[in-house]
A and B are shown apart, each in its own frame.
Chain A
Amino acid sequence: MKSVSLVLTLAVAAGLSVQAASAQTLKTVKDRGLLSCGVGQGLPGFSSPDDKGNWTGLDVDVCRAVAAAIFNDPTKVKFVPLSAKDRFTALQSGEIDVLSRNTTWTLSRDTSLGANFTGVTYYDGQGFMVKKSLKVNSALELNSASVCVQQGTTTEQNLADYFKGNNMKYEVIAFGTNDEAVKAYESGRCDVFTTDVSGLYADRLKLANPADHVVLPEVISKEPLGPMVRHGDDQWFDIVKWTLFAMVTAEELGITQKNVDEMAKSDKPEMKRVFGTDGNLGEQLGLTKDWVSRIVKAVGNYGEAFDRNVGAGSKLGIARGLNALWNKGGIQYAPPIR
Chain B
Amino acid sequence: MAIEPRKPPSQLLPRLQRALGGSAGWSGFVVQLLFVAALAWIAYEIVANARANLQAQRITAGFGFMANTAGFDVNQYLIPYSNSDSYTRVFLVGLLNTLLVSVIGIFFATLIGFLVALGRLSPNWLLSRIAGGYVELVRNLPLLFQILFWYLAVLAALPNPRQSISIFDSLFLSNRGLVIPKPIGEPGFEPFVFALLIALVAAIVLWRYSRRQLFQSGRVIKVWPYALGMIIGLPLLTTLIFGAPVKFEVPVLKGFNFAGGSRVIPEFVALTLALSTYTGAFIAEIVRAGILSVHKGQMEAGSSLGLQRGSVLRLIVIPQAMRVILPPLTNQYLNLTKNSSLAVAIGYPDLVSVFAGTTLSQTGQAIEIIGVTMGVYLLISLVTSAIMSFYGWRISRSMG
Contacts and interface: CB of A to CB of B under 8 A. Distances in A.
A6 B370 contact: yes
B363 interface: yes
B341 interface: yes
Given A2-B341, A160-B72, A114 B155 contact: no
Contacts of B59: 92, 112-114, 231
Given A112-B363, A146-B256, A9 B370 contact: yes
A296 B156 CA distance: 49
Nearest to B53: A16
A322 interface: no
Contact of B366 (A5, A109, A157): A5
B155 A89 contact: no
Contacts of B73: 156, 159-160, 170, 172
B361 interface: yes
A137 interface: no
A209 interface: no
A188 B341 CA distance: 24
Interface string A137-155: 0000011111010011100
Nearest to B343: A176
Contacts of A176: 344-345, 347, 353, 357
A109 B364 contact: yes
Interface stretch (A179-187, A275-283, A284-292): A179-187
A84 B75 contact: no
Contacts of A184: 155, 346-347
A192 to B, nearest CB: 8
B83 A164 contact: yes
Given A16-B57, A173-B347, A184-B347, A156 B358 contact: yes
Contacts of B155: 184, 187-189
Contacts of B245: none
Interface string B251-287: 0001111010000011100000000000000000000
Q: Chain B: interface residue count, which band? A: 35 or more
Given A88-B364, A146-B176, A161-B71, A231 B357 contact: no
Interface in A306-331: none
Contacts of A12: 50, 366-367
Nearest to A89: B366
Nearest to B365: A112
B357 A173 contact: no
A175 B346 contact: yes
B255 A145 contact: yes
Contact of B49 (A5, A16, A112, A114): A16
A20 interface: yes
A228 to B, nearest CB: 11
Contact of A171 (B156, B257, B346, B353): B257
A114 B346 CA distance: 31
A172 B75 contact: yes
Given A14-B49, A144-B257, A173 B267 contact: yes
A29 interface: no
B222 interface: no
A113 B363 CA distance: 8
A299 B62 CA distance: 43
Contact of B358 (A19, A111, A170, A174): A174
Contacts of B360: 5, 85, 152
B46 interface: yes
A175 B72 contact: no
Contacts of A6: 370, 374
Nearest to B152: A187
B7 interface: no
Contact of B58 (A16, A108, A114, A151): A114
B268 to A, nearest CB: 11
A207 to B, nearest CB: 15
B195 interface: no
5 contacts: A1-B344, A5-B360, A16-B49, A174-B74, A187-B152
Interface of A: 1-2, 5-6, 8-9, 12-14, 16-17, 19-20, 84-85, 88-89, 92, 108-109, 111-114, 134, 142-146, 148, 151-153, 156-157, 159-161, 164, 170-176, 180-181, 183-184, 187-189, 191, 230-232
Q: Which 5 A-B pairs have the closest CB atoms?
A: A152-B361, A16-B53, A114-B59, A144-B255, A114-B57
